[in-house]
Amino acid sequence: MAKQGEKDYLKNIGEGALQHALNKPFSDPDCGALLMEIGAVMALLPPPPGDLLDLGCGTGWTSRFFARRGYAVTGQDISPDAVRLAAEKAQAEGLERLRFVESDYESLAFVEMFDCAVFFSSLHHATEEAAAIRAVYRALRPGGVCVTSEPGYGHAASPESQHAARDYGVTEKDMPPALIQRLGQEAGFREFAVYPHADALQKALYAPGLVRMGSGLIRGARTWAFARRNGIVWMRK
């Protein structure tokens, strides 16, 4: 049932939420943090050119950013509506070297086709996250990199997550770095690193009135410690 909820999500959220999804990140109240986050993810990827797999891409805003960066991008999503809208948006923007495929990221058919892969706030919707990590491992070429930007502890209990799970039948899970690293190690990944989310850095470094001379280093250290519970994960095959 959860996977059907993911497939039907865009049909059920209403026109306003659909327009928000189509126009991210600029339609989002946290646009600044989203732009910082995708910048952080790009900094952790091998430089273009290269083949990039964007997993659970939704309506494709991240895929379009990666394509503009210079990657040959395959955006994957389980929702046929998302794939259709993403392809239409990319065509309207004249983006080349960008395609979208409808599939389940827990059972990808790709084998050693990509230099890098990204889960941008999508792995926490998995029914079987271990299967998704194994599928991505198979899809990467030797030495390929997977970067995940996922919500950590407390996500599933948030009011927003509970609303989405109850009203739209989607899966909402905590997806902390320790779990991702363990599953990555079991799948065969051999190198790992964890970094703070951009929204944590934004709050620590840029929120008005929070940072003063003399306190920034302490607050920064706390931010890096927090990343162990809720941060970006980098893994190399």
pLDDT at 211 over 60: no
Dihedrals φ, ψ of 24, to 5°?
A: -65, 150
Give the 3-state secondary structure of residue 76: strand
Residue whose entry in the numeric block shows the structure tokens 């930007």: 149
Domain contains 225: no
Q: Pick the residue with more confidence: 43 or 205?
A: 43
Residue span of the structural domain in which 150 resides: 2-197+231-236
Q: Pick the residue with more confidence: 145 or 226?
A: 145
pLDDT at 221 over 80: no
Domain contains 224: no
Find the mean pLDDT for residues 140-145.
Answer: 98
217 band by pLDDT with thresholds 50, 70 and 90: very low
Identify the pLDDT of residue 18.
92
Domain contains 211: no
- Cα–Cα distance measured from residue 35 to residue 186, given in angstroms and rounded to the nearest whole number: 32
Residue 85's domain is classified under what CATH number?
3.40.50.150
Find the mean pLDDT for residues 166-171.
Answer: 92
Alpha helix stretches (DSSP H) within the chain: 2-12, 15-22, 31-44, 61-69, 80-92, 129-139, 159-168, 177-187, 198-201, 216-226
Find the mean pLDDT for residues 93-105.
Answer: 96
- Cα–Cα distance measured from residue 19 to residue 16, given in angstroms and rounded to the nearest whole number: 5
pTM of whole model > 0.75?
Answer: yes
